Structure 1
Amino acid sequence: MNALADLQPPRFKQGACQVVSHRSRSWRFSRADLVERAGLGKEETTAVSSRHLLLLNLKGASERGQHFLDGRKAEFVRRKPGAILFIPAGCEWHGWEDGAPNAAYLSISVDPALVKKLCTELSGGQPPALSPDLGFEDPVIMNAARGIASEIDDRNPVSTMLTESFIATIFAQLLRKQRFVAPARKGGLTNCHLTRVVELIDEDLTAELSLVQLAEHIGFSVPHFCRAFRQTVGCPPHTFIVQRRLEQAQHQLRATNLSVTDIALACGFSSSSHFSNAFKRVVGTTPLNYRHSWSLG
């Protein structure tokens, strides 16, 4: 794609729908599009660009689909509000997906020249290769992306500087996240076993599942289960359960008006103070501040 094409609105989704609103702005090395749509059905997805593409799902969920990256089938990831998708420049992404009839997303496209410039200034070297990710949550990236969205309607002369600082935050976090992903090792849980354990946990996040219950659910001894689980997931079962509770709490903070106390109890925390301490330790902010930052105002 040429430079002129990169300045046009992104056209990576094709399907019958109504565009309720579309606000956008371009800067020296980037472009942001804030899009809300209604009447969605099954959509075809096609994207290959000379720019990095980041999508933040703001409303609606992607429930079903099939995706391919550079011609290879990729695992479909259900994306709820708050989920982030990243496609690096030059990567071909195509497939289809279906989900909620009403949706909104923030699209940010970035010239790789800016990322190269930032990495050169930092370390004097070339930026490491970035891998695509079809669905993840990261509060640092989400807040930086929302900072860029807030600049769409602000014509202040310092907007470009602010936007590039947010982009630096996004790519620093992407590089840190992707660089330290532990390689798969033998001796861990199979995908089938891990899926069954996660389904048991998600079935009732308020349940106090013991190691014996988790291990027996897939026919393992407790020592074997703990060893295999940690090797596969990278943390002990209890830590993982807390993470799942916090992920559900984040969703409820974004999607409901329930009080912090009600969300805490519904997600398996013994009290609002226990929930708030765990939330701030992992997410980096309080539940109320997280809910406030989610509002587009």
Structure 2
Amino acid sequence: MAVPGVASVRRYRSVVPLRTLQVHIPYVTVARTAEQLGGARIDYERMAAAVASGDPLVEHTLRSLGAAGEGDDLYAESAATFLAVHVLTRGLRPPEESRPGAEGPWVHKAVAMMRDRLGGPLTVADVAAEVGFSVYHFIRVFKDATGQTPHRYLTRLRVEEAQRLLRADGLSVAQIATRCGFGSPGSLSTAFLRHTGVRPSAYRDQ
């Protein structure tokens, strides 16, 4: 793999004719992929070193490109995206200084959104978009900041709200499940047991 901006020389020696295949991945593809992986700074030297000793996936993809012919632009574009993801994932490490801290306002914004939408459908992608992160980056830094994945954190908030409603003793378990964003009383019961060690009905009796 060539390092952008650094001249490279390749020498080959063979007693039979050689056939080579060069693949140039557009910079915009690499930059877009890095952003989707969390906005990591690209370390081209590390990327090159990661595949210098050979990489079966890269080799297989390049061979398949040679077999696909020149006319299949869609195949080539898909392969370029795959190669960018594969090499970046192996060769890059997000800089520690770029990770938001646990006290950053994005954490409070994400948790506030979870609390506001406890009773409705809410995906990790929704929360990630709210704080301006890719899903991959958000999951990683949220766990770094809180010690829990976004899904587990949201489930815990919903269970805590269910506990509050159960103590009020004015709603059925089915009604509480709906108000807390669970698809069914069974889903609430399973999550409640995992987080508290008892079923909702037993918790209410206590």
Provide TM-score, normalisation by structure 1.
0.35
Q: Return the structure number with greater strand share.
A: 1
Q: Return the structure number with greater helix share.
A: 2
Provide TM-score, normalisation by structure 2.
0.49
**Larger RCO: Structure 1 or Structure 2 (Cα < 8 Å, ≥ 6 residues apart)?**
2
